[in-house]
Amino acid sequence: MVEAVAHSAPVKIAPSILSADFARLGEEIRAIDAAGCDWIHVDVMDGHFVPNITIGPGVVKSLRPHSAKPFDVHLMIAPVDPFLDAFAEAGADIISFHPEAGPHPHRTVQRIKSLGKQAGIVLNPATPVDVLDYLIDDIDLVLVMSVNPGFGGQSFIDSQLRKIEDIRRRIDASGRAIELEVDGGIDANTAPRAIAAGATALVAGTATFRGGPDAYAANIQMLRGA
Ligand code: DX5
Ligand code: ZN
């Protein structure tokens, strides 16, 4: 019964601010908030774990007052543990990390939870789902990368639909309310496929910010399939 309710809930849309105008980030966040997004997806890259550099906790802290919606912080950094406190203090609500970023992913989950935040595990396109076996009882979110992390504007990798279906089954079997989020190449064509496979949240950079602020509300509605 719980499952039926969970599956019929509208999919959450998390615009990735990687595709926003970085010279006007506060304004951009207010605009996507007003346009009806559910979460604000913040891509943190270190130029080492992924081949790109974006923003750190100082910027997250500065952005925090611009929206009351959850900050969904996707850490693409290694090591990850030394920076968890800073992102928690900066105002992250969900903190997700890649298990490849350190030797002790379970410890990382414990630390995020002890900071009072929701913990997410991110699976790269080649990362097997087995990594969830001994983490699923403790996490709040699984983020499936449908592109290789590092850049916006890449094409959706179709093989990840099978992985989303597999994780959907595991989450349902766990009986826990774990969000299943998909990140990369989400657009009008791929959003319904990800939702059909079992996604409950979609990250969208290019598809949200295309056309400028006047288009954000329609873009978000389109992704939600409304
Ligand atoms: C990629 C990031 C994504 C990216 C998505 O490393 O994790 O969040 O910004 O961008 P689009 O929606 O343009 O594929
Ligand atoms: Zn991301």
With beta carbons less than 8 A apart as the criterion, state whether 167 and 200 touch. Answer: no
DSSP-assigned states of every residue in 83-117: GHHHHHHHT-SEEEE-GGG-S-HHHHHHHHHHTT-
Ligand 1 center from residue 6 Cα (angstroms): 25
pLDDT number for residue 161:
98
pLDDT number for residue 2:
41
pLDDT number for residue 6:
47
Is there an atom of ligand 1 within 6 Å of 149 CB? Answer: yes
- Of all protein residues, the one whose alpha carbon is nearest to atom 6 of ligand 1 is 149
* Ranges of each domain in the chain: 12-224
- Whether 138 is catalytic: no
Q: Which of 21, 33, 43, 166 is an active site residue? A: 43
In single-letter form, the type of residue at position 49 comes to: F
pLDDT number for residue 78:
98
Nearest to 17 by CA among 28, 8, 27: 28
pLDDT number for residue 7:
54
Whole-number Å distance between alpha carbons of 175 and 57: 34
Q: Class of the 12-224 domain?
A: alpha beta
Q: Which stretches of the chain drop beneath a pLDDT of 50? A: 1-6
With beta carbons less than 8 A apart as the criterion, state whether 209 and 19 touch. Answer: yes
pLDDT digits (tens, 9 = 90+) for 105-144: 999 999 999 999 999 999 999 999 999 999 999 999 999 9
pLDDT number for residue 58:
98
